[in-house]
Structure 1
């Protein structure tokens, strides 16, 4: 085992502006998915840790907000540089903790730096506008911080899905209490803390508290936390939204997806197969944006399925440290769930073209053809490396199949005519639509979020960050108080 990887200030600790032992929670044993072996033990937070962190964050936040955008931007730029300097360590942790392949880990690290740099630029943007009013009155609508933001992030893209909330929240003048998934506490939290500490972020503004559901519940109920931003499953998101709403907090939910990729009859089948494979199998399909339904015109169906099968059989599966492209699923429970969906769909009439087997936590890239509505593989988010293929005859049928179900996160359309593909894309119910691309697309400057069961209509990143992480305040100024007639 790489003992150098296990060394770090987070061993047995939490981050509260300094590396401190948990109050009462003991430790979390982090397991390496590829091997099943213990990787490191970090501090386990308890609700009492949340209460203490929220108090400290609230106390530190006012001074941070008063520093102004330029000072905040300088810290964020320094954090981006620190994170870039940590690229090798970041990639290694992502491979060890989350089962990321080397290319996925490298891209995630690069994107994380991009999110912090974009947040630094955000801090310098205009923070309000002048409103029309009476001649003697100056009327201003200004953006002001919410206070303390609670961030609950998942295991699959742990670094990016934490930092895309942490960085803009800080840029807007807030403090942050972050609960990373307890399976990925280092890449989803402690590396971020290390980068911001190196950048000179004042103590008390960022807290990292790995823990279980009770920690998330404490965040949602804490009186010093003004907002919760959550990325995870739709089921968990409903609970977060309900509890946070009960305590009158702002809530930003980015949830699951069953994302369609439509391949029209004039598409290049080679390019379409490459896009479908990337969208379905990247990071073992453990992405909310994964291509969950490959809807292909019946004239291209057989050729596409054959190409997908060939790609699946050629992909190396196993430990990412050994060069595998398809690594492990996060835990045995997820392996069992994926396998159950595949088996149930085959029993319902789908054709298992290739795959459908697993070795430990490593599930072989799988192709299911002949999948129709009502089968689990068509209806459910799988979160595993399963390419689900359904044929269609007409454009209307394709759109109907794409819009089935409650989700509405991402969609892609591939076709030879850009105009036609764009018209088809305009008919899809999704928060982001990609013409001549697959569904796994994200950029720091783009608003991200879904419709229906994929979220609560909120967005994160790009122009949405000011909307989410600040609130409007109306301020008027007059030379002297009016003489009201009372």
Structure 2
């Protein structure tokens, strides 16, 4: 393992374009999940600090919202160039605080660029309408306008990309922005904030407050200055945010958990499907909302699929995420590691069979971090908890299905509805799937990974609203209707 030797930095809050001392002396300690090293000390904001950040964003809003769309886009383009310039540095920050392999962190930086770029490129496509009026000479104008101050609450699994996913469209649409990154992974968001100063962002347009959800998150959600809340995180946290926001009748966008089914039919390209199943399950140590959580394989190809899958999973290299050869790094924390292991042990108790893994990795460098073995389970049934509850870890559950109808029925037997996967060459199956598979985004004959121009959204316990693409950009504007008469 590579240990961080530099003295850990202490971060204040980023408010109104400057570093600001918090109102309390409390700090969170940020650890490297692979090594246990202390990376930084980060300020814990008070409610008064959140108020200062929101007031700064509110003060910056009039001038920023009146700036022409291309002017706002140009500011975002300057930020993109700086992210590109510092891409390797940012990737290493992501790896150090999150634990994902460096090669995956580089992909995340690239995705962050694409998310901001789409927002900048499409800001002039936030178009209104002119409708004939009901009186002679009257025109009805429906104009798209920014909400005002947008509050973002982000998760730890993609610390840079999730900030970029909210920052880009919020600012492009003319809003100002305050974000609370997750308390485990705030460093890449702070790095982005520093780049925003270099990019020439006006003071108050982008603010970062850190700390826990109970204090900082709740203060952001309930403050009357906040007009729109965009949150990525767990379903229980999303419910709390929605309840708190309801008091102020605030608009809420929630991207929450997932339990993606991965369906492999008898006519699928088996090698391609195996590669995709592994990629969709073990990327970022399985800590992805779109991850392959339930793998349904047609009985005609089940044995062949299992044989190839076992070989592929066994070949995964788990270890130092800064090593270019590493396929999978650690879990984000000890609590997350214990949660995953408890899910696996319960599945075993309910009758699942461990083909590979099923345990924490120990010994040598593994003892310093939160490493779990890539795990393959068979004998999983729909009645088991592991088939219903989100695992969010490196555990692939393989389930035999008898036909297409069985696969669809089991896949839809979930309270989540974010992502799904389908491998088949049968056009009839594909056409039926578009109508019958109840998930917001479906990957056909490919691994996961949203595109910046797509629309990332789910149903049920996976949240409300959505992000990315033109549909996601539209969420960051409101409408104003004007009955225009001379």
Name the TM tier (shorter chain). over 0.9
- Judge conservation of contact 2:75–2:200 (CA < 8 Å) in 1: yes
Unaligned runs of 5+ in 2: 362-366
In the alignment, which residue of structure 2 is the partner of 1:380?
389
In the alignment, which residue of structure 1 is the partner of 2:216?
215
Unaligned runs of 5+ in 1: 480-486
For 2:273, what is the secondary structure of its paired residue?
A: helix
- Judge conservation of contact 2:32–2:98 (CA < 8 Å) in 1: yes
TM (normalized to structure 1)?
A: 0.95
Structure 1, 104-113 or 296-305: larger mean CA deviation:
296-305
CA distance in 1 between partners of 2:212 and 2:123 (Å): 33
Structure 1, 304-313 or 267-276: larger mean CA deviation:
304-313
Once the two structures are TM-superposed, the CA of residue 182 in structure 1 deviates from its matched residue by 0.9
| Residue 397 (structure 1) aligned with residue 406 (structure 2) | yes
CA RMSD, Structure 1 to Structure 2 (Å): 1.4
| Residues 228-275 of structure 1, C-alpha deviations (whole Å, 9 max, x = no match) | 111011111110111111221100000000000110011121111101
CA distance in 2 between partners of 1:422 and 1:296 (Å): 19
CA distance in 1 between partners of 2:201 and 2:136 (Å): 43
Once the two structures are TM-superposed, the CA of residue 407 in structure 1 deviates from its matched residue by 0.2
Once the two structures are TM-superposed, the CA of residue 3 in structure 1 deviates from its matched residue by 4.5
In the alignment, which residue of structure 2 is the partner of 1:483?
none
For residues 150-169 of structure 1, what are the structure 2 equivalents within 5 Å? Answer: 150-169=151-170
CA distance in 2 between partners of 1:135 and 1:160 (Å): 51
For residues 177-256 of structure 1, what are the structure 2 equivalents within 5 Å? Answer: 177-187=178-188, 189-213=189-213, 214-256=215-257
CA distance in 1 between partners of 2:36 and 2:380 (Å): 33
In the alignment, which residue of structure 2 is the partner of 1:42?
42
Once the two structures are TM-superposed, the CA of residue 376 in structure 1 deviates from its matched residue by 1.9
- Judge conservation of contact 1:25–1:46 (CA < 8 Å) in 2: no
CA distance in 2 between partners of 1:466 and 1:5 (Å): 40
| Residue 332 (structure 1) aligned with residue 334 (structure 2) | yes
TM (normalized to structure 2)?
A: 0.95
- Judge conservation of contact 2:234–2:256 (CA < 8 Å) in 1: yes
In the alignment, which residue of structure 2 is the partner of 1:464?
471
- Judge conservation of contact 1:406–1:453 (CA < 8 Å) in 2: yes
| Residues 13-69 of structure 1, C-alpha deviations (whole Å, 9 max, x = no match) | 111111122121532210000011211112221211111111111111011001120
CA distance in 1 between partners of 2:63 and 2:5 (Å): 40
Q: Of the candidates 335, 344, 347, which is equivalent to residue 346 of structure 2?
A: 344
In structure 2, the CA distance between the partners of 1:292 and 1:473, relative to structure 1 (3 Å rule), is same
For 2:50, what is the secondary structure of its paired residue?
A: helix
Once the two structures are TM-superposed, the CA of residue 441 in structure 1 deviates from its matched residue by 2.0
CA distance in 2 between partners of 1:153 and 1:422 (Å): 35
| Residue 21 (structure 1) aligned with residue 21 (structure 2) | yes
- Judge conservation of contact 1:5–1:93 (CA < 8 Å) in 2: no
- Judge conservation of contact 1:99–1:330 (CA < 8 Å) in 2: yes
CA distance in 1 between partners of 2:197 and 2:5 (Å): 24
Structure 1 runs (4+) deviating above 3 angstroms are 1-7
CA distance in 1 between partners of 2:410 and 2:47 (Å): 44
- Judge conservation of contact 1:122–1:168 (CA < 8 Å) in 2: no
- Judge conservation of contact 1:254–1:455 (CA < 8 Å) in 2: yes
In the alignment, which residue of structure 1 is the partner of 2:60?
60
Once the two structures are TM-superposed, the CA of residue 309 in structure 1 deviates from its matched residue by 1.5
For residues 310-329 of structure 1, what are the structure 2 equivalents within 5 Å? Answer: 310-323=311-324, 324-329=326-331
Once the two structures are TM-superposed, the CA of residue 162 in structure 1 deviates from its matched residue by 1.4
Once the two structures are TM-superposed, the CA of residue 6 in structure 1 deviates from its matched residue by 4.9
In structure 2, the CA distance between the partners of 1:322 and 1:441, relative to structure 1 (3 Å rule), is closer
- Judge conservation of contact 2:123–2:172 (CA < 8 Å) in 1: yes
